[in-house]
Amino acid sequence: MATHQAALRATTVEPHAPAATGVWSWVTTVDHKRVGILYGVSAFAFFLIGGIEALLIRAQLARPGLEVVSAQTYNALFTMHGTTMIFLAIMPFSAAFFNYLVPLMIGARDVAFPRLNALSFWIFLAGGLLLNASFLAGAPPDAGWFGYANLTSRAFSPGLAVDFWLLSLQVLGASSILAAVNFVVTILNLRAPGLSLMRMPVFVWMTLVVQFLILLSFPFITVALIFLMFDRFFGTHFYNVAAGADLHLWQHLFWAFGHPEVYILILPAFGIVSEVLPTFARKPLFGAPVVIYSGVLIGWFGYWVWGHHMFAAGMGPVADAAFSIATMVIAIPTGVKIFNWLATLWGGSIRVTTALLHAVGLIGLFTIGGLSGIMHASPPVDLQQTDSYFVVAHLHYVLIGGSLFGLLAGAYYWWPKITGRLLDERLGRVQFWLLFVAFNLTFFPQHYLGAVGMPRRVYTYPAGVGWELWNLVSSIGAFGIGLAILLFAVNAVRSLRRPATAPGDPWDGRTLEWRTSSPPPPHNFDAIPPIFGRDSFWREKYGPRRGPLAPPPAEHGLHLPAPSLWPPLLALGIGVAVGGALIHVAVVVLGALVAVYAAFRFALEHHRDPAHEHQVGGLGVDHRKLAMWAFIGSECLFFGSLIATYMAYRGASVVGPHPHEILDIPITTISTFDLLMSSLLMVLALAAVQRGDRFQSRLWLGGTALFGLIFLGFQAYEFTTFVHEGLTLQRNLFGSTFFVLTGFHGAHVALGVAWLLSLLVLDLRGRLDVRDSIKVEIAGLYWHFVDIVWIVIFTLVYLVP
């Protein structure tokens, strides 16, 4: 066995040409491993900022009545701490692991869309910098990471603080959606032959679940923030109670995102633990299919329980009961996961490494966090616990005890793979125990503080009500956590200064990433690895070997994605355009021009590159088509939220004009017919391109665009007429909801027209033929989707009385 292993290593570790170096190579990189490292380093930097914010918070609360910071600053600190840790630390830490590991674990050379991957990172960085620029502008967001309307409205939060918050969250959301589309396609399409879904490592499975959660939950916060943006910038009334608005709207939209977000934060850690435990117990994950199913179920149920954040908001007993039961049900798959992890360790031959310690720490601490979660799944109990320090304790047991311990386990586990160097185990153990003790010292007493009535988000508290001692203890613990993180940083830096001598498989790993050198070559594997089943690499080393289960693909030379400047430039344009909204409209235009230019260069960079023509993977569907389907799934919820808001606010306007007084059904019927016909032309255009009929492809592409333009003309006419008749965005809730809904649909049509015209120009210049039909096909998918959305809008807005 041992000789076999040695032979295996010898074949997989080969000298390769040194990778490009220098800052520029990092700016233009599209290598998933480098993008992963960029994510990790940025996340750690933001994590330190969020940590400093936390320490200031705990310094202020160490004693009653302290004035370390002012009330206003304190409010900014907890807002920025929450927003930073969620969006700029844990999510990108997870993204770092997704990026670095998923292609390696599925035996791929990169992600499906390497440039899109780089774009996701740069947009994320732009969003993170924009959010923190608020400190430099002297206007850090201070309305809470949950930004409850109507405290965030101009009336109660004048100034730039909330603008910074909402704009940077929109940017970060765009980054997440793009990354999610990319990873869905990567995982479904780029698996090595033989690596069926159920043979995938659990970490890859959890990644997949997280990507679906991002696609299906981010649209809600996008819409909530769009409403807030329109309220603040353009005077609409989505959250204006005087105009008839219902403040539950924000809460429903926010938590419909916010609760799945919890699983977006925790499931990657569950995935990491499911890899670390089997390696160090030297046993397969116990009941792997059940662990996978339970992860999927956690994601699925987690999607339907947002209302448990609103038990105090007065939804009524029926809704309370329903959300309560749904929430409790999540405990079942979560419990199954924990028991399966215990059973994995049971009977193993456990090597207590730092990675294992963190993974085991997660099991214990997350169990506590999960159980306190069940306590507030009961609405009556929740009424005593919500918005108290009990919840602060609960969420930190989940997000530090769960997510952070999991991420640290992953950091110790995969550090040698990423850097070629091992972290110091002794220092690591000291760090683990310090973190473990300090964490419990900080957060366990907060359960008690909540039970004795200390509310959250208070910058000070009175003496003599029994809160002093445990606040002091908690503050001391927090600085211990800070020290532990410092130790981790020291360990990392020291390791990087040593020579890269780690072997490819230092832990006797089970999955494919250990089958290549540490760090892997730019192309990951010299040959796409054969698959022998679940834990393929372990089977390859120790048996029982079945297979290989499928012949490796026939490769004609290695194709590695070329570096590209356009992703960072496009992200820069987006960042400037969005940040410009806080400065001057000219800056917005400038940023938008850069973004549009970069987007076109991006799109055409590899047009006609033979290596990019055939992109069919595991599902037998072209990557680009699969990506469009994933994106459309997300868009369904985007429009669903807009339409649902319109329906919820129907009849809520306190002044006219009302829909029946103003909507012109005959005219709109004509424009609807026009749009439907454009779908028909789209079908003809695609057919023409596919059979290489240049005349007809031009005719129908142009015709589709023209019909789209006619529809937009109708919409312009309709909007102008309405404004003349007194219906504006600012007039009433009907105006706000109607114009934002139909306006966003119109914007989608306009984007579609621009897309079709670009294809037409390509065609006219002779650069669009049968080989490019996929490009027309995905444009068509988008176009048909936008048309279908209009049918729903037309029915619900115009036809339903």
Q: How far is the CB of 744 from another protein (least distance, A)?
A: 25
Q: Six-digit token pair at 745?
A: 């649909």
H or E element at residue 478: helix 468-496
Task: Tell me if the bond preceding 548 is cis, omega within 30° of 0.
Answer: yes
Q: Is 42 annotated as catalytic?
A: no
Judge whether 637 and 256 are in contact, CB under 8 Å.
no
Q: Write down how long the chain is.
A: 801
Q: For residues 60 and 117, which CB has a smaller minimum distance to another protein in the complex?
A: 60
Give the alpha-carbon dihedral of 392, 394, 398, 399, to 10 degrees: 0
- Residues facing 616 on adjacent strands: 622
Judge whether 107 and 195 are in contact, CB under 8 Å.
yes
Q: Which residue has the tokens 């210049």?
A: 765
Judge whether 313 and 251 are in contact, CB under 8 Å.
yes
Q: Is 175 annotated as catalytic?
A: yes
Nearest alpha carbon to residue 636 among 800, 782, 794: 782
Nearest alpha carbon to residue 148 among 231, 213, 228, 207: 228
* Catalytic site residue from 309, 394, 624, 731: 309
Q: Is 337 annotated as catalytic?
A: yes
Q: Is 387 annotated as catalytic?
A: no
Q: How far is the CB of 162 from another protein (least distance, A)?
A: 12
* Catalytic site residue from 259, 417, 421, 510: 259
Which DSSP letter does residue 511 get? S
Q: Please, which contacts does 760-763 make with residues 24 or more away whose CB atoms are closer than 8 Å? A: 760/698, 760/701, 760/702, 760/705, 762/607, 763/689, 763/694, 763/697, 763/698, 763/701
278 vs 537: CA distance, rounded Å: 13
Q: Is 236 annotated as catalytic?
A: no
Q: How far is the CB of 291 from another protein (least distance, A)?
A: 9
Q: How far is the CB of 148 from another protein (least distance, A)?
A: 6
* Catalytic site residue from 31, 261, 540, 763: 261
671 vs 390: CA distance, rounded Å: 56
Q: How far is the CB of 573 from another protein (least distance, A)?
A: 35
Q: Is 605 annotated as catalytic?
A: no
Q: Which residue has the tokens 């309220």?
A: 231
- Residues facing 622 on adjacent strands: 616
* Catalytic site residue from 122, 205, 255, 263: 263
Q: How far is the CB of 377 from another protein (least distance, A)?
A: 8
Q: For residues 251 and 518, which CB has a smaller minimum distance to another protein in the complex?
A: 251
Q: For residues 442 and 678, which CB has a smaller minimum distance to another protein in the complex?
A: 442
Q: Is 718 annotated as catalytic?
A: no
* Catalytic site residue from 94, 120, 134, 175: 175
Judge whether 198 and 292 are in contact, CB under 8 Å.
yes
* Catalytic site residue from 31, 110, 622, 772: 110
Q: For residues 426 and 556, which CB has a smaller minimum distance to another protein in the complex?
A: 426
Q: For residues 32 and 237, which CB has a smaller minimum distance to another protein in the complex?
A: 237
Q: Six-digit token pair at 81?
A: 């701490």
> What is the distance of C-alpha 231 from the center of its chain?
25
Q: How far is the CB of 40 from another protein (least distance, A)?
A: 29
Q: Is 736 annotated as catalytic?
A: no
Q: For residues 130 and 249, which CB has a smaller minimum distance to another protein in the complex?
A: 249
* Catalytic site residue from 32, 283, 308, 698: 308
Within 10 A of 635 (CB to CB), how many other CB atoms are there? 19
**Strand residues in 25-147 grouped as ranges (E):** none
Q: Which distant-in-sequence residues (6+ apart) come within 8 Å of 464 by Cβ?
A: none
Q: Is 447 annotated as catalytic?
A: no
Q: How far is the CB of 512 from another protein (least distance, A)?
A: 18
Q: Which distant-in-sequence residues (6+ apart) come within 8 Å of 726 by Cβ?
A: 656, 657
Q: How far is the CB of 344 from another protein (least distance, A)?
A: 9
H or E element at residue 632: helix 623-648
731 vs 741: CA distance, rounded Å: 15
Q: Is 538 annotated as catalytic?
A: no
Q: How far is the CB of 445 from another protein (least distance, A)?
A: 8
Q: Is 784 annotated as catalytic?
A: no
Q: For residues 457 and 612, which CB has a smaller minimum distance to another protein in the complex?
A: 457
* Catalytic site residue from 145, 470, 566, 782: 145
* b/e per residue 99-112 (b: at least 16 CB within 10 A): bbbbbbbbbbbbbb
**How many alpha carbons lie under 13 Å from residue 546 in its C-beta half-sphere?**
8
Q: Is 556 annotated as catalytic?
A: no
Q: For residues 196 and 378, which CB has a smaller minimum distance to another protein in the complex?
A: 378
* Catalytic site residue from 81, 191, 447, 745: 81
**How many alpha carbons lie under 13 Å from residue 484 in its C-beta half-sphere?**
25
- Positive or negative CA dihedral for 585, 591, 597, 602? negative
Q: How far is the CB of 308 from another protein (least distance, A)?
A: 12
Q: How far is the CB of 126 from another protein (least distance, A)?
A: 28
Q: Six-digit token pair at 696?
A: 């007809």
Q: Which distant-in-sequence residues (6+ apart) come within 8 Å of 276 by Cβ?
A: 355, 356, 358, 359, 409, 410, 413
Q: For residues 24 and 346, which CB has a smaller minimum distance to another protein in the complex?
A: 346
Q: For residues 367 and 696, which CB has a smaller minimum distance to another protein in the complex?
A: 367
Q: For residues 235 and 287, which CB has a smaller minimum distance to another protein in the complex?
A: 287
Q: For residues 378 and 690, which CB has a smaller minimum distance to another protein in the complex?
A: 378
**Phi, psi (5° rounding) for residue 455?**
-75, 160
Tell me which residues are annotated as active site: 81, 110, 145, 175-176, 259, 261, 263, 274, 308-309, 334, 337, 456
